[in-house]
Structures are given as C-alpha cells and as structure tokens.
Amino acid sequence: MTLAIWCVILKEEVLSMKSALELAQEIASHPDVVRVLEALEGDRLYRGDVAYMPGLSSGMIRAGRLFDHIVSMLRGRQVKKIAVSGSDGRGWDDARDFPTAAWPGVFWYLDELMARDIFREEIVPITMGPQRQSLQETEALLRQANKEGWKTIVMVTVDYHRPRQVLGMVKQMKMLGQRRLYFPSIPFDWSTEMLGSQNARTSTGAEEAFTDWNIKIPMYQEKGDLASITEFNEYIKWRNTR
C-alpha cells in the first residue's frame, strides 16, 4: 500500500497506545524493522550509567511524555546521569511554537528538566555544532561516552525512532567502540499531530513511523549509514552475553 492509503486507514483506527511492535507488524514492509523491535522487547527494565535523549521536537517529546520518563529513571536510580543533545537548535528552522515546534535547542531541554527539580550537575549536554543529521548526534554521543567512561546507555526517544537509531548506533560503534545500549519502548500517542525534529511538515506519529520504517531505513542501509540486520544481530548477541 502507498503512504497516502495507509494514512487514511491509520486515522480511522484507535492508535493512542499501540506498541511500536504492534504497529510495525501492521505497516512495516521492510522486515528488518519488526526483527529489530522484537529483539528490543526486553529492554524496558535495564539500568545504565546514563539516560540519553536526542534532539526531538517538543511535540514528539510531549506525545511520549519523555521528560517525565527520563526524570523518573534518574529519580528511581536506574541511571546516574541524564545526557541530552547539546545543539542549540541551529541547523533547523526558527520554529518555536509550542507544543509542536521543531527541535528548540539544548537550553529548552535544560529549562524543562530543571523545572522538574533536576539539578544542573545531573545533566550532561553532548557538545556539538549545528545539528542536521542523526549521524552527527550519534558520533557526538559515542565520543562523549568514551570520555566519560559510560559503558551502558539507556536511550529515551519516541517509539518510531528506535529501529533507525539503534541501527545507526550499531554502525557507528564499529568505529568508536561498543557500548551496551538499551532502547525501552515508551507509550506513545501515534495519532498526535506534530512537527518532526527537522520541521519538514506536520504529521502524526503513525505517518512518521511509516516513512521511517519503509523509506528511510532501507535508503540509509543502502548508503551504508545504518547497520544491516546481520550486524545488528551480532551486536545484540554480544550485548546480551556480556
């Protein structure tokens, strides 16, 4: 089916609390997506040195209540620190209209976390210049992990990003050193309309998932930016036997 047909179908369904795996089993034509999500099913209970939240739009964050989730991880001592994208928002457009603005920058992240009684010294912004691609962000995170000595990282992101993000990180770790990464599934309202982090257009989470899983992942795998399913399986085997 085409994206347009799927969007019509998705808007007629009750999407508010489907898991990413349930949605992928319905709409993902690329088999690697379902395989990746199946492999990540047990990640919700893991602890780590740090919880990391990438640069996302405020609409994406609120659809998944990601600030509340990452704060609860720190307060519950599942992680020792919170790390966030350190980009100041340059590289995106100038949209700042909440709650659906494109990536508003690190200072908004700091304000929102400290408003939830997180101390500034508990937050590690990952320093980088203008941010335009997830690849840049992944490289910066892994270099910071090497500097800080982080061995285990819990990724806090919207559910549809998890397959592409983990495949990108597995690829980058071949050059920058392997870390134990965990990608817990976080309840997400797939029907919420929002701007993506690059503010290309307003869409629902379900529509973004369709594009990510069926277009972006195979395209970036072909370019060599994302790991193959074989490389991913080898990494998961290594991670789970450490």
pLDDT of residue 216: 93
For 178, the 3-state DSSP assignment is coil
For 68, the 3-state DSSP assignment is helix
Edge-to-edge strand list for the sheet holding 50-53: 123-126, 81-85, 50-53, 152-155, 180-182
**Better-predicted residue by pLDDT, 104 or 50:** 50
Q: Are 183 and 165 in contact (CB under 8 A)?
A: yes
Least confident among 71-80, 111-120, 188-197, 223-232: 188-197
Least confident among 76-90, 144-158, 160-174, 216-230: 76-90
Q: Are 123 and 22 in contact (CB under 8 A)?
A: no
pLDDT at 242 over 70: no
Rg over CA atoms, the chain: 17
Residue 87 lies in a domain: yes
Number of domains making up the chain: 1
Residue 230 lies in a domain: yes
Which of these, 192, 216, 195, lies nearest to 11 by C-alpha position? 192
Residue 1 lies in a domain: no
Residue 4 lies in a domain: no
Residue 15 lies in a domain: no
For the domain that residue 134 is a member of, what is the CATH number? 3.40.50.620
pLDDT of residue 206: 86
Q: Tokens for 221, please give them.
A: 């795998």
Q: What is the 3-state secondary structure (H, E, C) of 135-168?
A: HHHHHHHHHHHHHHCCCEEEECCCHHHHHHHHHH
**Residues whose CB falls within 8 Å of the CB of residue 4, separated by 6 or more in sequence, listed in order:** none
- Going by DSSP bridges, is the β-strand pair 202-204/193-195 parallel, antiparallel, or unpaired? antiparallel
Q: Long-range contacts: 90-98, Cβ < 8 Å, 24+?
A: 90/129, 90/130, 90/131, 91/130, 91/131, 91/132, 92/131, 92/132, 92/197, 92/198, 92/199, 93/199, 95/195, 95/199, 98/58
Kindly provide the residue ranges of all beta strands, DSSP E only, lying in the chain, ordered along the sequence. Answer: 50-53, 81-85, 123-126, 152-155, 180-182, 193-195, 202-204
Q: How far apart are CA 34 and CA 131, in angstroms?
A: 29
pLDDT of residue 7: 55
Over residues 164-197, the pLDDT tens digits come to: 999 999 999 999 999 999 999 988 888 877 765 5
Residue 12 lies in a domain: no
**Better-predicted residue by pLDDT, 198 or 117:** 117
Q: Which residue range(s) make up the domain with 96?
A: 20-240
Residue 191 lies in a domain: yes
Q: How far apart are CA 162 and CA 183, in angstroms?
A: 7
Mean pLDDT of 32-40: 95
Residue 97: pLDDT band (50, 70, 90) is: very low
Q: How far apart are CA 101 and CA 59, in angstroms?
A: 6
Mean pLDDT of 123-136: 74
Residue 3 lies in a domain: no
